[in-house]
Amino acid sequence: MPYVDGSVMAVPTANKQKFIDFANQVDPLFLEHGALSVRECWGDDVPAGKQTDFQHAVQAKDDETIVFSWVEWPDKATRDAGMKKVMDDPRMQPDKVSMPFDGARMIFGGFSPVLELGSNSRSKAS
Stretch (H or E) spanning 109: strand 107-111
Q: Are 9 and 43 in contact (CB under 8 A)?
A: no
* 3-45+54-111 carries CATH number 3.30.70.100: yes
* Alpha-carbon span 22 to 110, nearest angstrom: 22
Instruction: Output the CA–CA distances (angstroms, integers) from residue 46 to 1, 33, 55, 65, in the order listed.
Output: 29, 31, 8, 9
pLDDT (tens place) for every residue of the chain, 126 residues total: 899 999 999 999 999 999 999 999 999 999 999 999 999 999 999 999 999 999 999 999 999 999 999 999 999 999 999 999 999 999 998 888 889 999 999 999 999 999 989 876 554 555
* Alpha-carbon span 34 to 65, nearest angstrom: 29
**Domain spans in the chain, listed from the N-terminal domain onward:** 3-45+54-111
Q: Are 99 and 26 in contact (CB under 8 A)?
A: no
pTM (2 d.p.)? 0.89
